[in-house]
């Protein structure tokens, strides 16, 4: 698996996103574009996506933990 750092995209079209939960915890999610798009357009709560820089600031400032890299794959509803 090759990682293209300038795009934050893997060679198999997965994207790495940093998400803030309702409890202000930081979670790293790996998934394809369609999974995240489906989640954002669904009637559920949308994900609060943050940048890598902002995540690092939150970790330093608030002593937050970053919870592992989880796979996020959802099926679209057709």
DSSP three-state, residue 24: coil
What is the mean pLDDT of the segment spanning 44-70? 86
- For residue range 13-47, what is the model confidence (pLDDT) as tens digits? 788 889 998 888 899 988 887 777 766 565 667 77
Average pLDDT over residues 69-74: 84
Q: Delimit the domains of the chain by residue range.
A: 15-71
- The answer to whether 29 touches 20, Cβ cutoff 8 Å, is no
**4 has a pLDDT exceeding 50:** no
Residues in the chain: 78
With a cut of 60, say whether residue 6 has pLDDT above it.
Answer: no
58-78 average pLDDT score: 81
- Say what the pTM is: 0.71
């Amino acid at each position: 698996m090759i990682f293209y750092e300038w795009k934050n995209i893997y060679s198999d079209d997965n994207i790495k996103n940093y998400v803030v939960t309702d409890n202000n915890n930081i979670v790293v999610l790996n998934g394809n574009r369609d999974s995240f798009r489906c989640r954002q357009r669904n009637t559920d709560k949308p994900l609060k996506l943050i940048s890598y820089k902002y995540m690092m600031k939150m970790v330093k400032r608030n002593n937050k933990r970053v919870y592992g890299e989880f796979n996020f794959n959802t099926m679209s509803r057709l």
